[in-house]
Chains A and B, each alone.
Chain A
Amino acid sequence: MIPLLMAALVVRECARCHPAEAKPHPATSMARAMQHPADSAILNEHPVLTAQKGKYSYRIEKNLYTVTNGSASLTFPISWSFGLGDAGQTYVFEKDGIPYESRVSFFRAIDGLDWTLGASNSPPANLLEAAGRQMGTQDAAQCFGCHSTKTQAALEPGVQCERCHGSTEEHLATLKPMKKLRAADAEEISNFCGQCHRTWADVAGKGILGVNNVRFQPYRLTNSKCFDVDDRRISCLGCHNPHQELDRNDAHYDAKCQACHAGGKPAAKVCKVSKSNCVSCHMPKIEIPGSHYRFTDHQIRIARANDRYPN
């Protein structure tokens, strides 16, 4: 296991010069995208979690993950918890040095365990498969690459400063500017955020069609009629500040829409229905079956009832 570095140390260092960005960041969901099980609020609030799925019983107690088929059982200490439970919290354990993704995850909407997204597609052939899916090397690199920050010395859980801005070492030694997205256009920003949230090319190239792609926001945004590769107003950063927690209030985004749709861009039409809560109509919330979560569809559009989900 890669040694764990206290993320707070790096953040504190960054906060000395960049307090506006670094101080609120540790409270964001991104900064807590991966946690040691002892730090998982869900595991702390739920000392025992159980689920019966087919012939297998699952139990999570005091950071121990157990699966039983009635005659035999397997127990593993949880190495990491991934996610904060809104769209699921999934657990990673190790066997013989190989990481496994738990076959069940915690979902806030049901306040309990259910199949990890995609797990129900492949019935387990044995108890170990019932416990979890063996993560391939590429797979593990992708999961940890997005849910943690690899520094020169260690692995920091969560998306920390260096994950987006690069190594602090040279910056602290030379005060050379770090990577900034301020000058990037919408396409570049989309590709940058899409490293984890999936780019248009990732999703379109793999042909992930139907509602399963609603959680890949850069892909959906790129498919929007109003997406313009050159216009930063329609970039991820046009609406979201990654240094602060996501604002879930629809009205918060009105000004962002009106930056173009109130005369700011000649081609952008002005809505005849309303001047507020734009996203509540134009970015509908869609649930992926089994996810217990309604994702905001970032393909901005006039969404009519019974329209087919547009790719």
Chain B
Amino acid sequence: MKQAVEAQQSGNFDQAIRNYKILLEKYPNIAEIHSNLGAALAGEGRYADAIAEYERALKIKPNPQVSLNLGLAYYKAGQLAPAIATLSKLHREQPSNLQALIVLADCHLQLGENKKVIELLTPAQKADPENATFNYLLGTALVRDRQTAQGQLIIDKILRNGDSAQARLLMGTTKLTVNDFSGALQDFAKAVELDPKLPDVYAYYGLALLATGDQPGAKKAFEQELKTNPNNFDANLQLGVVLRQDEENDQALKYFQHALEIRPGDFGVRYQIATVELAKGQLVQAQRDLERLVKEAPKFTEAHVSLATIYFRQKKKAAGERERAIVAQLNAEKQANSPALKAPQ
């Protein structure tokens, strides 16, 4: 055990793993060996194996630190739903465990559940208003949730400590929400310059480049994000969109499928996958996927549009006309709800 721990502490995970496995042959029911093995496996980036060992350890003896490690392993493996389940349970049992709270909030942020992040972090941020991590995560959630005024208060707080990549990323995100793309681009470029390793920074830089027409630049930015942050949802989704537009359908599909692993069931990604199938001429598959999608999301206009296109290509006139009628109805509702579009002809 001593040799295994020493190997692990010196970063020799491979040796540590071998030693822990030998120990487990003799003592299969000692939780500490399983959890240490899990940590060594995680150190090697073998998250699936690490998760299995942490779960074995917890089954033998519950331990909050092992639960946190399990949540972290799920988080790093991009399995956000089980990460949230594990960390939520831990957060309920140990509300003062700030690491669990921060990782839990970041999981929700990655899933686009901004309101949940705000709900989780607002009390913690009030209790510790100068905590830079709380401020950054809460500010990001507020800005993404379009609570711009509240978000700005947090950005100002961050800026009081001087210009930083985090502040620039938040400022740029705020500008993106009001379609100030060139302004956002300048902030993201500065954020990239200040801290190119900041999670999400290249993904947002890519979004601004895409919005300002620099598709090749956006593609590089998304690829850059995925080098350090392979589970970034936006980078996977948008890189897939760019590749689909370049007719690299198989490559696009790879990124869409990974985006779907990060956010299972996401309507937008499922729609993109169907458009790839459509582009590849896989009409039956695309039809099946879109029919399922509009059943779950009946107001998803683009999905109805693509479905109509498929029906007409298959000479299914009545079905195509039905979808067109749905689109007309959905657009009429949008028009009725938009004062600018209500003007008489």
- What is A's interface to B at a CB cutoff of 8 Å? 122, 125, 129, 133-139, 187, 200-201, 204-205, 207, 209-211, 222-223, 229-230, 284, 286, 297, 303, 305-311
Contact = CB atoms under 8 A, between A and B. Distances in A.
28 contacts: A122-B181, A134-B212, A134-B213, A135-B213, A136-B214, A137-B213, A137-B214, A138-B213, A138-B215, A187-B312, A201-B306, A204-B301, A205-B306, A207-B301, A207-B331, A210-B335, A222-B324, A229-B312, A303-B345, A305-B344, A306-B344, A308-B335, A308-B343, A309-B341, A309-B343, A309-B345, A311-B328, A311-B332
B147 interface: no
B301 A209 contact: no
4 interchain residue pairs of minimum CB distance: A136-B213, A309-B345, A205-B305, A210-B341
Contacts of B309: 201
Q: Give the residue among B245, B312, B317, B334 with the most A Cβ atoms within 10 A.
A: B312
A307 B335 CA distance: 13
A223 B328 contact: yes
B301 A205 contact: yes
Contact of B344 (A200, A209, A223, A308): A308
Interface of B: 181-183, 212-216, 245, 301-302, 305-306, 308-309, 312, 317, 320-321, 324, 327-328, 331-332, 334-335, 338, 340-345
Given A201-B309, A204-B305, A209-B334, A307 B327 contact: no
A286 B345 contact: yes
Given A200-B324, A311-B332, A136 B215 contact: yes
A309 B344 contact: yes
Contacts of B340: 210
Nearest to B304: A204
Contact of A311 (B181, B212, B320, B335): B335
A209 B335 contact: yes
A211 B320 contact: no
A210 B213 CA distance: 24
Nearest to A202: B305
Nearest to A137: B215
Contacts of B342: 308
A197 B327 CA distance: 20
Given A211-B345, A297-B345, 15 more contacts: A129-B182, A133-B213, A134-B212, A137-B215, A204-B301, A204-B331, A207-B334, A209-B335, A209-B341, A210-B338, A229-B321, A284-B345, A309-B343, A311-B331, A311-B332
A229 B306 CA distance: 16
B344 A125 contact: no
A134 B185 CA distance: 14
B329 to A, nearest CB: 10
Nearest to A297: B345
A210 to B, nearest CB: 4
A125 B182 contact: yes
A138 B331 contact: no
B273 to A, nearest CB: 16
Contacts of B341: 209-210, 309
